[in-house]
Structure 1
Amino acid sequence: MENKTVTPNKSTSPQKKWMDFKVGSVPLPVYIVMAAIIVLAGVMQQLPVNMLGGFAVILTLGWLLGTIGANIPIVKNFGGPAILSLLVPSILVFYNAMNPNVLKAADMLMKQANFLYFYIACLVCGSILGMNRKILIQGLMRMIIPMMLGMILAMGVGTLVGVLLGLEWKHTMFFIVTPVLAGGIGEGILPLSLGYSTITGTTSGALVAQLIPATIIGNFFAIMCSGLLNRLGEKRPELSGQGQLVRLNGAEDDLADAMKDDTGEIDLKMMGAGVLTACTLFILGMLLQSITGFPGPVLMIVAAAILKYLNVIPGETQRGAKQLYKFI
């Protein structure tokens, strides 16, 4: 009788299942080892109070909370990763449950090194410079009037409701209505908090804590309403643009090619150019702030949009900024 060797099915082996489950970008077993080392260093007060220690803290905790938030039913559809990543550390700090060494490392990265500014600059500049110019010019020109009318009406109605409920109109407009209209957390209230911080002198972290409740509630209703509108579009296709935001007159106006992703393969040199571009635009915004008095982050956004419209930045540099945006 012929002897046959039975090879275990690796695809179903427990080891492979553990390795396939990732916390952030790291397989679970590897993450556990790394997290244990970082926690041990914090307990022994040996965590370096520099960018290395700061990144170790925010990546370890952020990836864990983000993974948990992305796997909680219902909550994951309303920004679960961002919600947990903001609320849980705040609660831990409030109840003094965080190791002092860990807090110092995170404080050094986020406050002394101002990594948040770099993060926001990369997000904003990358999203604008990575936008297809055809959409910016043709699509936006057609949508600008209804968009502006919608925003003005939304701000007016929202502020009026707040006043009727006994809230001050300034607080309602700038801390409730505007965060909702900002469109989210990463690219919404974070840049908004920087602008507010420049005007009010309050730290951006404290402002984020004030802005996020309205944003989360706004996201909840936005997702719910979009689901209802999607169902309406499925039942009455003539009311749906099938993802096309602008009504087209003919083939010459087709913006379908503009929706294609032309980022290409990851190129570290191009990403380096994207980093330099984001930093330069942020510095330009700060420089213009000293001259005009307007918030630097806002002027950075305006400058990026103007440069994109004029198409003066080389295509490779724009693609590098977009790759950096996706990486961040």
Structure 2
Amino acid sequence: MAEDKNARTGLWLGGLPWWQAVICILLCLIPMYLTVQGKDGPKMVQSTTMAGTLAICFGLAVIFNEIGERVPIWNTYIGGGLLATFFGVAVLKQFNLVPEAGLDAINSFISDDANFLEMFIIMLIIGSVLSLDRDILLRSFAGYIPAILGGLLAATILGGITGAIFGIPFSDTLIKYTLPIMGGGNGAGAVPLSQIYEQVTGDAAANYYSFAIIVLTIANIFCIIASAALNALGEKVPSLTGDKKTLIRGAEELARDDEKIKTDNTDLSGALLLAFACFSVGILMSSVILPKIAGAPIHKYAYMIIFVVILAATGLVPARVRAGAKRLQSFFSGQLGIIIMVGMGADFNLGELFKAVAPSNIIMALMIVIGAIIGSAAVGYLVGFYPIDSAITAGLCMANRGGNGDLACLGAADRMDLIAYSQLSSRLGGGIVLIIASFVFSFML
């Protein structure tokens, strides 16, 4: 048998032979630690443009991703390279091992000015929805809201029981713990919840938010760890999960095999144009046409998902374009996922977590997260879903810190193909919680 001259031999890091990778990493990171005198004072040598910031992100990502993928136990049960990148960068930030200018550049590119995170989510949504068979798509979305409500109900019950053990009244448990945790994250949950609290009570929104963000931060960590644990459980008990791309039990053989469809760059261009058009529909619906339903603001991603589902259900999108969308999704989730984790780590404050180590807060958050897992898994199973995949998307992606938390959970669970469902949890599920909170705050405070 002829020897493959192109085969990879020896140690490779980040797609390069290790010694080349080390040189590239150093070249990417060293300029970040050097400064020159500018007209407004010292400034970082590394450019803060897209190229310069990506250099920083890739330099950090490759290091922690390789560590996470190679460390035993962590690579199987904790979340692998994606989660190692997230926590690794967060630790560097906490101990001031990354210059402030570098962190600012990362945050500006990933989630602030340039908002590459938005681009990432758009590509994952368009690919994950269009790659599903039409029947699977309609069946799964029809059963998804009940799975969300099942997780919310079980989280409320388990949280109430735990609160009673600590002597916390049920009303306080619901208002201070369950609703903030299950509210769909920070911007879509804790912030608007605090505003509703202020409107109802007259007390400052900051007084509610300061505690809500603490318990939400604790719950977010539990959600990420639980996602990795559920993925490991699925590896041990395959009957509890599917192919990590669909929720419906036994539907793997119906999923489109995109690899059999030949695509070229024109199909990728078509998929890009379609993705941006669907995103624009989301913006128009959430900003102009129907920004609120029953008093609750509806996020642009939720409207985008609904519109993409409608397109997929009608069968109007050509097979080549669907396959192109799937290729885009695979590239973004596979090759650029670690870049997103760098941004999330740079935006995560470990200090918030350290402030909230009171045993009661930790146990309360843990039990609410467990309730979300149990409720969404049980109801998901009843409507025909795999319990593990339902628990991760309809349960944990309700209980984490929203968009960033969704990506961390899906990355830890190796289920980036389920991004559309997680976004429904954070957006539509979060909207449901806000509607419930409006009534709860009015009657219980």
TM-score, scaled to structure 2: 0.54
Letter in 2 for 1:168: T
Identity level (%): 19
**What is the match of residue 43 of structure 1?**
33
If asked which structure has higher relative contact order (CA below 8 Å, sep 6+), I would say 2
Check 1:321–1:305 CA distance in 2 against 1; reply closer, same or farther (3 A cut).
same
Give the counterpart of 1:30 among 16, 20, 24: 20
| Deviation at residue 73 of structure 1 after TM alignment | 1.6
**Higher Cα Rg, which structure:** 1
- Counterpart CA distance in 2 for 1:84 and 1:124 is 24
Q: Output one character per residue of 1:10-47: Cα deviation in whole Å (capped at 9) or x when no partner.
A: 98x9x9413xx232x33322221211112221122321
Check 1:297–1:149 CA distance in 2 against 1; reply closer, same or farther (3 A cut).
closer
Q: CA RMSD in A?
A: 3.7
**What is the match of residue 116 of structure 2?**
115
Q: Is 1:298 the equivalent of 2:302?
A: yes
Letter in 2 for 1:43: Y
| Deviation at residue 327 of structure 1 after TM alignment | 0.4
SS in 2 for 1:112: coil
Structure 2 unmatched ranges of 5 or more: 35-43, 164-171, 196-208, 292-297, 333-445
Give the counterpart of 2:313 among 302, 309, 317: 309
What is the 5 A alignment of 1:1-328?
A: 16-18=9-11, 21-23=12-14, 25-44=15-34, 45-77=44-76, 78-110=78-110, 111-137=112-138, 140=140, 144-145=142-143, 149-166=146-163, 168-169=173-174, 172-173=177-178, 176=181, 195-196=188-189, 212-223=220-231, 225-226=233-234, 229-230=237-238, 256=253, 258-262=255-259, 264=261, 267-291=264-288, 292-293=290-291, 294-328=298-332
- Counterpart CA distance in 2 for 1:135 and 1:149 is 16
- Counterpart CA distance in 2 for 1:107 and 1:241 is 35
- Counterpart CA distance in 2 for 1:97 and 1:91 is 8
- Counterpart CA distance in 2 for 1:266 and 1:66 is 30
- Counterpart CA distance in 2 for 1:276 and 1:290 is 21
| Deviation at residue 266 of structure 1 after TM alignment | 5.9
> How many aligned positions are there?
283
TM-score, scaled to structure 1: 0.71
Letter in 1 for 2:23: V
- Counterpart CA distance in 1 for 2:65 and 2:263 is 24
- Counterpart CA distance in 2 for 1:300 and 1:199 is 21
Contact 2:279 2:301 in 1 (8 A): yes
| Deviation at residue 322 of structure 1 after TM alignment | 0.9
Check 1:73–1:264 CA distance in 2 against 1; reply closer, same or farther (3 A cut).
farther
SS in 2 for 1:212: helix
Contact 1:195 1:297 in 2 (8 A): no
SS in 2 for 1:279: helix
Query: Greater CA deviation, 209-218 or 110-119?
Result: 209-218
Letter in 2 for 1:57: I
Q: Output one character per residue of 1:29-78: Cα deviation in whole Å (capped at 9) or x when no partner.
A: 22212111122211223211110111111122122212211122222223
Contact 2:126 2:325 in 1 (8 A): yes
| Deviation at residue 121 of structure 1 after TM alignment | 0.9
Check 1:56–1:273 CA distance in 2 against 1; reply closer, same or farther (3 A cut).
farther
**What is the match of residue 183 of structure 1?**
none
Structure 1 unmatched ranges of 5 or more: 1-8, 180-191, 234-239, 249-253
- Counterpart CA distance in 2 for 1:209 and 1:86 is 14
- Counterpart CA distance in 1 for 2:129 and 2:121 is 12
